[in-house]
Amino acid sequence: MQNKQIRLAARPIGNPKDTDFQLTIEELPLLSTNDVLVEVHQLSLDPAMRGWMNAARSYIRPVEIGEVMRAGGAGKVIASENPKFAVGDFVTGSPSIQQYWLAKEGKGVTKIDTRLAPLSIWLSTLGMTGMTAYFGLLDIGEAKEGDVVVVSGGAGAVGSVVGQVAKIKGCRVVGIAGGQDKVDYMLNELGYDAAIDYRAGNLRTALRKACPEGIDVYFDNVGGEILDTCLSMLRMKARVVICGAISQYNATEGVSGPKNYLSLLVNRAKMEGFVVFDYASRYAEAAMAMGQWLREGKMKSKEHIVEGGVEDFLPTLMTLFEGDKIGKLILKLV
């Protein structure tokens, strides 16, 4: 059997481009004892992938030049030499950008129950994305009833879960995202109390109007000027959750850091970063809570699913940076 893969060919400078990747076709080897072969159905496309292309030290090792591009995903077991997995099982893990995932000794493969939720939800709200939102908001942000929670990337994968969980917890939620469609979505579909289009200009004025008494929790997905503006509006004892900084991921001249950080001093506030993988031992807790909210209709899971082949990886990934999608970005291999 042949396996189409996308490998990292060069470390991108600025926006990743076609020549940074290479399409390869490889014969699948025979399975050894305990190996599992998964037909990859859906790939999770995440902003973090841009960081993994860099050589810099991070929370996870970089993807090496020539290596198949790392990616989360889900699929079906089509051959198994491992007693824990049977042909036909649906699984998630980190299959990388390829059609077939040969998981040596079944490492990193997790069984999922597609009667409870479809694959796409296992990659979004019930997957790494939802876990990030849940623990970032509740553990790092310590959001509680009555708090004013502001979330950037508020219509995106992580952001839309953050805003909805904050609403469930009795917070006042203000979402920030680009464009009127996303503003309408945050207000009408996600039930936020206010929503702001940062591309319309005047973010500061709009934020003052939406949270006249300031911000208790700012969940930052984007960094840059939006982070700076939110820092200038913190309340006493506010918590700033550093989840990500997508506005900086393709920067060629270094990350631009926050100017208004002294607001942390004045307001006895704190700013803390986190990596979702540190919560792996508690994923079940979050999945139970959010699974329940989904079943009760208190929460919605939205996925933006693009159908294509592994060769569609790069143009699809770039929609993360161009802003033209709502919810979790998934490449469905057809």
Ligand X SMILES: NC(=O)c1ccc[n+]([C@@H]2O[C@H](COP(=O)([O-])OP(=O)(O)OC[C@H]3O[C@@H](n4cnc5c(N)ncnc54)[C@H](OP(=O)(O)O)[C@@H]3O)[C@@H](O)[C@H]2O)c1
For ligand X, the binding residues (CB under 6 A) are 46-48, 129, 132, 153, 155-159, 177-179, 182, 221-222, 243-247, 274-276, 320-321, 323, 325, 329
Cα 44 to the center of its chain, rounded Å: 9
* Six token digits for residue 223: 């960094």
Of 77 and 174, the one with the shorter C-beta distance to ligand X is 174
The Cα–Cα gap between 68 and 81 comes to 23
Query: What's the Cα-to-Cα distance from 258 to each of 222, 230, 248, rounded to whole Å?
Result: 12, 10, 12
From the CB of 141, what's the least distance to ligand X, in Å?
12
Nearer to ligand X, 77 or 176 (CB): 176
Q: How far is the CB of 97 from ligand X (least distance, A)?
A: 16
Tell the smallest beta-carbon distance from residue 281 to ligand X (Å). Answer: 15
The helix/strand/coil state of 28 is: coil
CB of 231 to ligand X, least distance (A): 15
Q: Which of 198, 187, 253, 248 is nearest to 223 (CA)?
A: 248
Decide whether 36 or 195 has the Cβ nearer to ligand X.
195
Buried b (16+ CB within 10 A) or exposed e, 242-262: bbbbbbbbeeeeeeeebeeee
How far apart are CB 146 and ligand X at their closest, in Å?
Answer: 25
Q: Which is nearer to ligand X, 158 or 233 (CB)?
A: 158
Name the DSSP letter for residue 143.
-
Identify residue 231 by its one-letter amino acid code: L
Closest Cα to residue 51, out of 222, 223, 246, 221? 246
- Looking at the Cβ atoms of 75 and 244, the one nearer to ligand X is 244
| Closest approach of ligand X to the CB of residue 263, in Å | 20
DSSP3 helix / strand / coil % (the chain, rounded to 5):
35, 30, 40
Residue closer to ligand X by CB (options 80, 129) is: 129
Closest distance of CB 42 from ligand X, Å: 15
Please calculate the CA angle 66-70-72 and round it to the nearest 5 degrees: 160
Positive or negative: CA dihedral 267, 246, 50, 107:
positive
- Measured from the CB atom, is 176 or 215 closer to ligand X? 176
Give dist(CA 95, CA 68) in Å, integer. Answer: 9
Cα gap 219→242, rounded to integer Å = 7
Which is closer to ligand X, CB of 163 or CB of 244?
244
Distance of closest approach, residue 59 Cβ to ligand X, in angstroms:
8
CA distance 261 to 242: 13
